[in-house]
Amino acid sequence: MPERKLTPAAWPDEEEDVRQAPLTRIEAQAFRERHPQVPVWWVVAAQAALGSVIAGLAWWVAGESSVGMSALYGAAVVVVPGALMARGATSPNARLSPVVGAVNFLMWAVVKIGFSVLMLLLAPKIVQPLSWPALLVAMGLCMQTYWLALLWRRRA
C-alpha cells in the first residue's frame, strides 16, 4: 500500500498574520482594575473561618466533641496544605520567569496533594474517635470556598 503524506489543513486565521500589540502601561492598569485578583491568603483565611464555623456547628448539632474535632480536622486537611502551597507558590522565586513560575506552581501542587493524603492517612490516629462523615463534609465545604472567591472576584 502506498504511503500517504498528510498535509495539515490551513486554518482560516493562518492566512492573516494577526499579532496582538503589547498593552501600554495605562491599558494594563485599566485591565487590572476591570479584572481584580482575589489574594490567595484571603481564600486560605476564608477556608479557615468556614472550617471553624462548620466544626462549631457539627459539635453543637451532634452534641459530641469528637464530631466537632473530626470536622475541624477535615477543615485542616484543606487549609493547612492550601496555606503551604500559597506560601510556596507566592515566593519570590516564582517570579523569576514564566517557566520557573509554572514549575514552582506544579511542584507546590504536588506537595499540597501529598500533604493532604498524608493528613487523611493520619486522621484515625490523631482524632479518636473519628467521624469520617463529619471530616468529609467539612473538607467538601471548605473546598467550595474557591467558588466563593471566584464569585466575589466577579462582583468586584
Q: Which domain holds residue 66?
A: 39-155
Q: How many domains does the chain have?
A: 1
Specify if 7 maps to a domain. no
Indicate if the pLDDT at residue 12 is higher than 70: no
**pLDDT tens across 27-43, in order?**
888 888 887 777 889 99
Global pTM reads 0.76
Specify if 128 maps to a domain. yes
In angstroms, the Cα distances linking 127 to 39, 134, 146 are: 32, 12, 26
Indicate if the pLDDT at residue 75 is higher than 60: yes
**pLDDT tens across 134-149, in order?**
999 999 999 998 888 7
Specify if 67 maps to a domain. yes
Of the candidates 133, 152, 150, 146, the residue with the CA atom closest to the CA atom of residue 54: 133
Specify if 19 maps to a domain. no
Specify if 69 maps to a domain. yes
The answer to whether 127 and 55 have CB atoms below 8 angstroms apart is: no
**pLDDT tens across 88-125, in order?**
988 888 778 888 888 999 999 999 999 999 999 999 99
Helices (H) and strands (E) in the chain, counts: 6, 0
Specify if 21 maps to a domain. no
The sign of the dihedral angle between the CA atoms of 155, 48, 140, 42 is: positive
- List, as one string, the DSSP characters of 68-109: HHHHHHHHHHHHHHHHHHHHHHTSGGGGS-HHHHHHHHHHHH
Average pLDDT, whole number, for the chain?
86
Per-residue cell: 89: 507558590
Specify if 20 maps to a domain. no
Indicate if the pLDDT at residue 155 is higher than 70: no
